[in-house]
Chains A and B, each alone.
Chain A
Amino acid sequence: MMVTKLAALAPLALEGNGRMAAAILMGIAFGIILVKSDFPYSKQVREALTLKNGELSKSFLLSLGIGTLLFYFLYKTGVVTYHVRPAYLWPSILGGIVAGIGMALCMAVPVTVLASLASGKLYALWAILGMILAVPCVRIASEWLSGTIFQWGQKMNDPEHYSEFFSFSNPALWVLMVCAVLVLILQFALSGGSSSGGGSGDSGGDKKKKE
């Protein structure tokens, strides 16, 4: 009955003022989720990236696993549809390398840096300025990029949907299994909940109970 009810739903596809209002409300919700999850705080991110604390990594992996599962079944019932930008192999790899180095330096990505600034971390302004400056630089270099990096390799295949979930050719199943295994490894290999002890961490005065 639940599936039947969901099947009656189609993508909401909001337009106009409703779209704007929903975007603002969803942004507020996302800001809350980010702060509660400690993603905007450089100390926690640094501990996650240096493999000292697995909390953020587990959150991220769980979101990928559960999100993939949710999307698979909701796509099957027609509630959501695919919306993926075209991707190319070498630009994805090179972009990942460059962005990864940047992440190691500033401990933030565009959405988390906004939340970080909102949490009083004024130093996040520098990262925002750097991000804003990168856009015209890419525009200036776009002709060169179009003739070089963006010509390497072919467009990657669009996602395919497999009707049978428990099939070894279903990538969603593989994503779920890989995320589950990585979460288990992190759960047993890394400590958790130590970064905000004593109230002196980036997250302010909150006390986080150890799992």
Chain B
Amino acid sequence: MPNFKSIVSGSWAWWLSGLCLAVFGVAMLWMFDDTPGMSDGMLQMAEFSRRAAEDRSIEQAPPLDWQTGFLGGIFIGALACAFISGKWKFALRPEGGSGGMLAGAGKALLTGFGGGFLVMLGLQMSGDSFFGQWISALQVSSGAWVFMSVFLATAIISSILIARRFGGAK
């Protein structure tokens, strides 16, 4: 008999997560019959942010189409689930990092900003968002598999090198 309380409150086992992700990905293709990558949504939000920064005001609401709606839904779902599961925790820096609060927050700024910039740059070069690449990989797209393989190999090697050079998380 499945323990429903632990399913609601705790983290899922890896096999349940994998299964849900797989079903979700295929369901997206069935429901929308479109390339479900979020790159267009990200581009719209980036354009909106650029205009807001230039005008120094927010006169119009962010663009709302199905991709930005999906991104908004992710935020809402994650927020609700984090609260219900007891996983919501205010943090200015990743836990387990070395150094004091200020040093950790500064490091989070640099690595977060630089890392985020490189992630989006790489995704834009490859032509799709990570979500889109993953969905394309389910469809056995050779381009998506090339990207995924190179991405994961580079991420693993870089993470190990960074951990050895600067010390891993405690």
Chain A residues within 8 Å of B, Cβ to Cβ: 9, 11-14, 19-20, 22-38, 40-43, 46-47, 49-51, 54-56, 58-68, 70-71, 74, 79-89, 91-111, 113-138, 145, 149, 156-159, 171-172, 175, 192, 196, 200-209, 211
Known: A28-B77, A30-B77, A119-B87. A103 touches B155 (CB 8 A): yes
Please measure, in the bound complex, the distance between the C-alpha atom of A127 and the C-alpha atom of B36, giving whole angstroms. 22
Interface-central residue, B10, B47, B138, by most chain A CB under 10 Å: B138
Chain B residues within 8 Å of A, Cβ to Cβ: 6, 9-15, 17-38, 42-43, 45-47, 49-50, 64-67, 69-82, 85-96, 105, 108-109, 111-132, 134-160, 162-163, 168-169
Contact check, B95 vs A200: say whether CB atoms are below 8 A apart: yes
Quote the shortest CB–CB distance from B106 to chain A (angstroms): 10
Q: Which A-chain residue is minimally distant from B47 (CB atoms)? A: A135
Q: Which A-chain residue is minimally distant from B42 (CB atoms)? A: A110
A-side contacts of B14, CB under 8 Å: 54-56, 58-59, 62, 192, 211
A-side contacts of B118, CB under 8 Å: 98-99, 101-102, 105, 130, 134
Known: A96-B150, A103-B158. 5 other contacts (CB 8 A): A27-B76, A29-B73, A71-B138, A103-B119, A108-B116
B-side contacts of A28, CB under 8 Å: 73-74, 76-77, 80
Known: A120-B82, A120-B88. A85 touches B136 (CB 8 A): yes
Please pick, from A36, A68, A85, the residue contacting B12 in the complex, using a CB distance under 8 A. A36
Please measure, in the bound complex, the distance between the C-alpha atom of A182 and the C-alpha atom of B140, giving whole angstroms. 17
Please pick, from A30, A58, A201, A207, the residue contacting B10 in the complex, using a CB distance under 8 A. A207
Contact check, A134 vs B116: say whether CB atoms are below 8 A apart: yes
Please pick, from A13, A41, A86, A127, the residue contacting B116 in the complex, using a CB distance under 8 A. A127
A-side contacts of B116, CB under 8 Å: 102, 106, 108, 113, 126-131, 134
Contact check, B119 vs A135: say whether CB atoms are below 8 A apart: no
Query: At the interface, is chain B mostly helix, strand, loop or mixed?
Result: helix
Contact check, A118 vs B75: say whether CB atoms are below 8 A apart: yes
B-side contacts of A59, CB under 8 Å: 14-15, 17-18, 21
A-side contacts of B65, CB under 8 Å: 20
Please pick, from B22, B130, B158, the residue contacting A101 in the complex, using a CB distance under 8 A. B158
Contact check, A100 vs B73: say whether CB atoms are below 8 A apart: no
A-side contacts of B94, CB under 8 Å: 42-43, 46, 107, 121, 123, 202
Known: A26-B24, A29-B77, A50-B160. A118 touches B82 (CB 8 A): yes
Quote the shortest CB–CB distance from B63 to chain A (angstroms): 12
Contact check, B37 vs A85: say whether CB atoms are below 8 A apart: yes
Known: A50-B163, A92-B147, A119-B78. A130 touches B156 (CB 8 A): no
Please measure, in the bound complex, the distance between the C-alpha atom of A146 and the C-alpha atom of B141, giving whole angstroms. 22
Contact check, A132 vs B49: say whether CB atoms are below 8 A apart: yes
Please pick, from A83, A97, A100, A111, the residue contacting B29 in the complex, using a CB distance under 8 A. A83
Contact check, B78 vs A114: say whether CB atoms are below 8 A apart: yes
| 28 A–B pairs (Cβ distance < 8 Å), ordered by A | A19-B66, A31-B81, A59-B21, A66-B22, A67-B25, A74-B26, A83-B139, A84-B35, A84-B136, A87-B147, A92-B144, A97-B150, A98-B122, A99-B151, A100-B155, A101-B118, A103-B119, A108-B116, A110-B42, A115-B75, A118-B76, A119-B79, A119-B89, A120-B88, A123-B94, A124-B112, A201-B95, A208-B10
